[in-house]
Amino acid sequence: MPILVTLIVLSLGVYLFYKIKSVRTKMPMEKKWISGKSSIALGAFVSLFGVNQLFLFHTTTTYIISAVFIFVGVFSIWGGYKMYKFYLPHAIEEAANQKG
């Protein structure tokens, strides 16, 4: 599935982008907000990797491992989304205070 491989590589690239951006920022709330976005991208990477393995191999072990990957990825996406939504207003407020 070339579409899945493209999405896997894209989500890994987005994760690396946001992780580097998170390390480079100095503001703590913005750092946590960006970390939430990187967590979403990492969860997408892990989930898509698990789905891709389902198409490549058809053994019981693969199904179990893929289910674990998908489960962990979905919870990482969920946790990252909650972190993103929680820290967004704080990051906006922090940016407004930084300017003024």
- Which tens digit of pLDDT belongs to each residue from 57-84? 899 999 999 999 999 999 999 999 999 9
> What is the CB neighbour count within 10 angstroms for residue 20?
11
Q: Please give the model's pTM, rounded to 2 decimal places.
A: 0.91
Per-residue tokens: 5: 């491989």
Q: How confident is the model at residue 100 (pLDDT cuts 50, 70, 90)?
A: low
